[in-house]
Structure 1
Amino acid sequence: MLYRNLSGYFREKYGKRLSKICIDGGFSCPNRDGTVGVGGCIYCGERGAGEHITGGDITSQVRRALDAAKEGEEFVAYFQNFTNTYAEPSVLRERYDAALIDERIRVLAIGTRPDCISPEVCELIASYSDRVDVWVELGLQTANDRTAEIINRGYKTEVFDKAVKLLSEYSIPVVVHLIVGLPTEGREEIEETVRHLSTMPIWGIKIHSIYVSRGTRLAEMYASHEYEPPTEDEYLQSVIYILTHISPKTVVHRLTGDCPEGQLIAPEWNRNKHALIEKINEEMKSRGLRQGCLYVL
């Protein structure tokens, strides 16, 4: 096994792969509404990370997926779009409950910002663990605070650290999101981020290839030649560095990103993620590399 991927983890735990229901929970983002900032991160479109989500109320979104399910198919209910803990706990409970409508849903996954994690939120999320498995996904993207300012992330890395610690105290697994190819970042910054994460109780990781999407600040930077995305080989080598330097126990949820249909401006190599993943696999095989083979605490 080259790396501990999510489908393998699902087979270990549930005896099968689980399918993902991506949910728009109707949340906003403090980095858009003026609480923290405006405009959001420079790579984020108007509809957030879930631009492909079809919409409708939460239960309807889930019901559509369940109605189309194959026999024996089970699911992760993934609150993906924007900041899915950005509301009062009573509102959060109502919306999470609206997704957990069927015993075929085995996991509640919640994507959010570290600055929207509190003891009250953790207590609520942990309360679901007697019904389903839960995990929380945090968008760190980089541990470099200079880059964080450039991408308009809206919080310092120490806020992420505190959120991970708090979630860990409630025994809630954390999935960290990283982006390779952020403006001004190279291998040095990637190494810095990986070193930082090696000291933390991270259960899973999502590695995203940056893409220039229409209507974003990053698209403006690309058009004015302020930004150039990495080459495919640069991305491939960065992903392999990350995989070989993280704990072999970390569950790898993804190795590349998905740009919504019709929105990609650059890079062109990002259009075929399956080919990219295959190249990563082949490179690791040819060099005799495995996840965690260079991991140092």
Structure 2
Amino acid sequence: MRQRRFLPSLSQLIALEAVMRHRSVTAAADELSLTQSTVSRLIAALEDQLGKPLFLRQRKRLIPTAEALVYAAHITQGLDLIQRASMGLIANPGGGTLSLSVLPTFATRWLAPRIGQFLSDNPGISVNLSTKIQRVSLATGAFDAAIYFGQGDWPDAHHMRLFDERLTACAAPGFLARHPVTGTADMAGLPMLQLETRPHGWQAWFAAQGGGGVAVRGMVMDQFSMMIQSAIAGLGVALLPSYLAEPEIAEGRLLPLLRPAVPGDGAYWLAWPDRHQGDPAFLRFRTWIAAQVRAAFGADSGDGQPG
């Protein structure tokens, strides 16, 4: 049996979350379509129930206490879980809902064109995709799993290697007509586009070419999609995962330099928390994506077994 004292009303918690987010009773009241006095009463009632002040009142301003900041962070996570559960029930009452954190260009260029087949084969499951560059917390419950690049080192998570990254340097035909490249020495002085999450990518590429490296200079970007468009526009040489470079090369918008598809310094991984280890909807997705990467990448793909 849950103790009533430790279960404030949903109205109180929603009011607290809004006030903490806006740092203003007035803004919170406007968002919730309530009066300022109603929001103030809800906060006061919550403080009475908890037996602790959550805010310091200074000149009509509410300043959250240190304890309130921690408490509100947990409440926000709880409200997110409730909202996700409700959305899943409404959108898909007959099956499961998966919320995935996915790298942006991987999501748009590789996963999104394939996910329709998974949904068609599993009509009781819906999938929500959220593109994230940085790693998210799987402990909060906001995401059921994540696809990321690096090593199998996501803390407190199970892992499955999807495929190793291979790198292809490429540039626009017009750019290479002006700057022919027949060896690594010809790269000296050329703008080499860089991705901020792959600081050692060019070093790995030069090492795999068997030639000496040159000083790397050029724009730093946060997404491969931006790098692809910049290379097509003739702004420099792009270093791309081969699976992203292949469509542009096939269409003639980019040309590969020297040896293509050389080994990179990381892999793409699927990570998930322990609470989803036996979830039927997630198991279906995990089995499906393992089959997809085997078909697409062959020897470079993982074995489909969690690690």
TM-score where L is the length of structure 1: 0.27
Length-normalised TM-score, structure 2 = 0.26
Q: Based on CA coordinates, which of the two structures has the bigger radius of gyration?
A: 2
* Structure with the higher fraction of residues in helix conformation: 2
